[in-house]
Amino acid sequence: MTARPTRKGIATVSLSGVLPEKLEAAAAAGFDGVELFDNDLIASPWAPREVASRCADLGLRVDLFQPIRDVEGVPPDRFDDVLHRFRAKLAVMAELGADTVLCCSNVAVDAVDDPDLSADQLRRLGDLAAASGVTIAFEALAWGRHVHRVGQAWDVVRRADHPAVTLAVDTFHVLSRGDDGSALADVPGDRIGFLQVADAPLLDMGLLEWSRHHRCFPGEGTLDVADVVRATLRAGYDGPVSLEVFSDLVREADPRRTARDAMRSLLFLEDSLAAEGPPAPARVDAAFLEVPGGPGVPALLGSLGFSVAGRHRTKPVTWWRQGSADVVVNDGSPDPALGIVTSPVPAVASRAKRLLWPEVDRTRGAGEAHLPGITSPSGLHVFVSAPAGEEDHWQRDFAPVAPGPAADSAWTGLDHVALAVPAERLNEQVSFLRTLLGLVPGGTEEFMEPHGRLRSRAFRPGAGDLRVVLNVEDVGAGRTPPSGVTQVAFATSDVRSAVVALRSAGVPLMAVPDNYYADLDARFGLAPDLLADLRCHGLLYDRVGGGELLHAFTMPLAPGFHVEVLERRGGYDGYGSAGTHVRLAVQRR
């Protein structure tokens, strides 16, 4: 994966459906092989030989089979049972044409804590395996009874000293125990028999439950998967890199979609392992929000203080502006879009293609800016523009209109866009923002709503002013959570004037309960003048260190859609989350 691409695999358990659907989805996404879960085989009407031939037809190898548990550290009087089970499964493997079998460390209460016994038992299984041309890959389950760290598993494999007994590396099991790639420093690559990769969000829960319900594809969680993979490949391992991801989400998702997401994560992992790291744009700035046209849209933009700044030379698209805040109205598209500025533009476009992100279907007039559009999993399009002054800058496609009164306002631009995704699309959208735009996620914040909860995560580039807030609303059975752009925040250097102007233009602003100001006073002990001023203008307030945020929200301007105006002072870098519960209660009332 460093020098050359490795074989890419995925476990059938990572995909929903029954075996034929799983295999087709894996093949369609371009995988080279699968780990076959025994339960998928047992429930299938296909005999093992037929599974082998179907896989061959689809261009898939059966890279791994894992049919048997608790095989080492077994009380000696019961080891004959293990041999019986192992022989039976080797017979199945011969028909499957699989040559690697995964054996996990024993989790039974009566497992014996004796590495020499474990090694001896693995050696005896190794003799049987070798006679069938099969290699054992021995894995330390993070919740194994005695063997639960990769170093312990390696110790047992070393003691077994058998050519058919090798070490299996699983990034989740290594990292969830607090180990990292350095734990593999002494392991020769030809003694590593298999590499399974999975990421996970950081959760404070039991390892087994964490593993069973919350694994995700590399780059969607917080584990340093690349570190363990790099160490494994450096050791000289040249087998498949195989995704083993269990989660409630993948069990419920369309397997074809999951397989594409899975393949993308391996491509990104591959890039991350390159000497120069994954290619990410040097900086990413917010350019404009594009909204679909509609009967009320011009009037609404007018009341928000925007005026027309330009008309597209060939398309039914209008550019609106207030100060330096830009909104584009597209009468020809039903979907919202976010315009960003980065450089070089073609690199982002080709990167999107390599990562299987779909392009927006659009025509480009002669002489127009090359503005590639990519559809994100949430449905939001992203248009990529070159910086101002360059040929492919988005504003060059518009014939300017004489500046209206809004041109010299104090609005300084798009501060952030809040995007709601259904829970089952979250990982994909995170992957989009990270892999394509190189955005970095902040921590997850959680807010109670009157009828559910909101999970929120802010994304920022390494350099540049783009801010995207990704929200998931859990609203309960039978109710549809919001999806798409739910809020746009505009930055201003004078939020008081902004609020006064909006109010006089008849824009419905959120009424802040008086109790909020009593609490604000209790929390911050604000100067009476400031408190009176906030109350009088209906502003929310937050303070962190020397930074302050003053902001206001509209009531819904379209179903589930709000505008925020905000003023950041003294380097305030957050989103006013201390007041979010108030906003949610008032806006949803």
Q: How far is the CB of 412 from a second copy (least distance, A)?
A: 30
For residue 384, the cross-strand partners are 340
Tell me how far apart the alpha carbons of residues 291 and 312 are, in angstroms, rounded to a whole number: 14
* Contact of 406 with 458, CB cutoff 8 Å: no
Instruction: Kindly report the number of other CB atoms within 10 A of residue 5's CB atom.
Output: 12
Q: Report the C-alpha dihedral over residues 393, 394, 396, 400, rounded to 10 degrees.
A: -140
According to DSSP H, which parts of 18-149 are helical? 19-28, 38-42, 48-57, 79-96, 115-131
Q: 425 vs 434, which CB is nearer to a second copy? A: 425
Q: How far is the CB of 557 from a second copy (least distance, A)?
A: 21
Tell me how far apart the alpha carbons of residues 87 and 79 are, in angstroms, rounded to a whole number: 12
Tokens of residue 14, six digits: 């990572």
Q: 45 vs 334, which CB is nearer to a second copy? A: 45
Q: 459 vs 516, which CB is nearer to a second copy? A: 516
Q: How far is the CB of 27 from a second copy (least distance, A)?
A: 18
Tell me how far apart the alpha carbons of residues 65 and 67 are, in angstroms, rounded to a whole number: 6
Q: 344 vs 422, which CB is nearer to a second copy? A: 422
Helix (H) or strand (E) holding 541: strand 540-544
- Order the strands of the 484-492 sheet from edge to edge: 440-449, 452-460, 468-474, 411-420, 484-492, 562-569, 547-553, 540-544
Q: 208 vs 388, which CB is nearer to a second copy? A: 208
Q: How far is the CB of 182 from a second copy (least distance, A)?
A: 27
Q: Closest Cα partner for 197 from 139, 276, 145?
A: 139
Q: 103 vs 195, which CB is nearer to a second copy? A: 103
Q: How far is the CB of 54 from a second copy (least distance, A)?
A: 14
Q: How far is the CB of 383 from a second copy (least distance, A)?
A: 28
Q: 92 vs 104, which CB is nearer to a second copy? A: 92
Q: How far is the CB of 250 from a second copy (least distance, A)?
A: 10
- Please report where in the chains the tokens 């584990």 appear, as a residue: 223
Q: How far is the CB of 555 from a second copy (least distance, A)?
A: 14
Q: 358 vs 422, which CB is nearer to a second copy? A: 422
- Catalog residues that contact a second copy under the rule CB under 8 A: 13, 16-18, 38-39, 41-48, 67-68, 81, 84-85, 88-89, 92, 203-206, 208-209, 248-249, 251-253, 422-424, 448-453, 474-477, 479, 511, 513-516, 518-519, 521-523, 525, 581-582, 584-586, 589
- The number of C-alpha atoms within 13 Å of 229 and in the hemisphere containing its C-beta is 29
- Order the strands of the 317-322 sheet from edge to edge: 373-375, 381-385, 337-341, 285-292, 325-330, 317-322, 307-312, 398-400
